[in-house]
Amino acid sequence: MKNKYKILLFMFALLIPPIIRNEYYVRIVNIFYMYSVVALSINLIVGFCGQLDMGRAAFMGLGAYCSAILTVKMGLPFIAAFLISGAFSGLIGAVLGFLCRKSAFDYLTLVTIGFNAICQIVFLNWIPVTGGVMGISRVPQPNIFGFHFDTNTRFYYLALFFLAASFIAMHRICNSRMGRAFEAIRDDSIAAEYSGINVQLYKILNFAIGSVFTGLTGALFVHYTQYASPFNYTLDESIYQLQMAILGGLGSLAGSLVGTFILVVLPEISRSFYEYRLLFVGILMVVMMLYFPNGLLGKEGVGERLIAVRLGMLGGKNSRKDSGG
């Protein structure tokens, strides 16, 4: 995208709360922004490195509980707790990545599902620390150097900043030597190794970096909802998050935002619609697989088709050749 459009998009994003002027809608957008970062981190792990991780919600939970405990029980300021939570989640991600460094594809998936279940049990049963079924309530709202993000609108700008910073960071990582190494591992780990890439180390790094972002999001989320509940970080939640990344297109960062938008914002349009959310998602996934097998903005996705149509209008011949069969 050209710089001009980027600036326009950012200006538009800044103006969203005054335009929609509805606390409830702003809240939905806030949630959309935060889930977007989770979808981005899933994209980094699943889309770029090809490691099918189905336990992302566990890392959100780790970040959330870590930050909640640090602020509520130890009285740390928000910003410190927030950053420590990211580091903590990243550390656990590195440990899990280290343990799975030799696991083949499907086994890694099973390990992450198992890890999610373990975290769930720990959140529920380690009552002195996590509060058990009751969770941790009265988590303070974000407060950075005296500025309170205590309304939805104020929080909106924090979430926007968080999303923009995460997006830029991921974009740069993915377009660097490191991101190329991730993609090389996904496409052919043996050839990657022969190119001098320490495959095991890079898999661990990938998992750790993804977990930092997931953990930070979990922490931000818990300060927003002010309540850490053990029921928010289930396997169902992980799968729903995975669907956001897949729907948008694995390997496309912008796609993650689109996928998240569809799965977070659309079900909120009306409450009655919300009841049929899973039905809607199921149909959507089937339709997507038929028409956009690599996701909406993935390879041969909406973006590339639009370009093809435009070229077709100019050239005339190329577009017909494809649609013939």
Partner 1 sequence: MAELLRAEKLSRHFGGVKALTNVNLTVNEGEILGVIGPNGAGKSTLFNVLTGFYKPSDGKIHYKNRDITGRPVFETAKSGITRTFQNIRLFDQVSVLQNMLVGMHTQLRPKFTEILFKKPDAIPEEIRGRKDAEEVLDSFGLLDVAHITAGNLPYGKKRRLEIARAFISKPSLLLLDEPSAGMNPSETVEMMKFIKDIRDKGPTVVVIEHNMKLIMGISDRVAVLNFGEKIADGTPAEVQANHEVIEAYLGKEEE
- Which residues bind to partner 1, rule: CB under 8 A? 169, 172-173, 175-178, 180-181, 183-184, 186-188, 190-199, 251, 299
Identify the three-state secondary structure at position 214: helix
Closest contact distance (angstroms) between CB of 200 and partner 1 is 9
Closest contact distance (angstroms) between CB of 172 and partner 1 is 6
Residue 227 pairs with which residues in a beta bridge?
137
Two tokens, residue 216: 């930070």
Closest contact distance (angstroms) between CB of 154 and partner 1 is 27
Q: Specify the residue, 3 or 270, whose C-beta has the smaller distance to partner 1.
A: 3
Cα–Cα nearest to 170, from 202, 199, 212: 212
* Structure-derived torsion over alpha carbons of residues 166, 257, 22, 281, reported in degrees to the nearest 10: -140
Closest contact distance (angstroms) between CB of 196 and partner 1 is 4
Identity of the amino acid at 265: V
Q: Specify the residue, 178 or 235, whose C-beta has the smaller distance to partner 1.
A: 178
d(CA 82, CA 93): 17
Identify the three-state secondary structure at position 55: coil
Residues 6+ apart with CB under 8 A from 195: 184
Q: Specify the residue, 27 or 299, whose C-beta has the smaller distance to partner 1.
A: 299
Closest contact distance (angstroms) between CB of 250 and partner 1 is 10
Q: Specify the residue, 198 or 318, whose C-beta has the smaller distance to partner 1.
A: 198
Closest contact distance (angstroms) between CB of 93 and partner 1 is 17
d(CA 114, CA 111): 5
d(CA 253, CA 161): 17
Q: Specify the residue, 48 or 155, whose C-beta has the smaller distance to partner 1.
A: 48
Q: Specify the residue, 138 or 177, whose C-beta has the smaller distance to partner 1.
A: 177
Do residues 64 and 218 make contact, with C-beta atoms less than 8 angstroms apart? yes
Residue 143 pairs with which residues in a beta bridge?
148
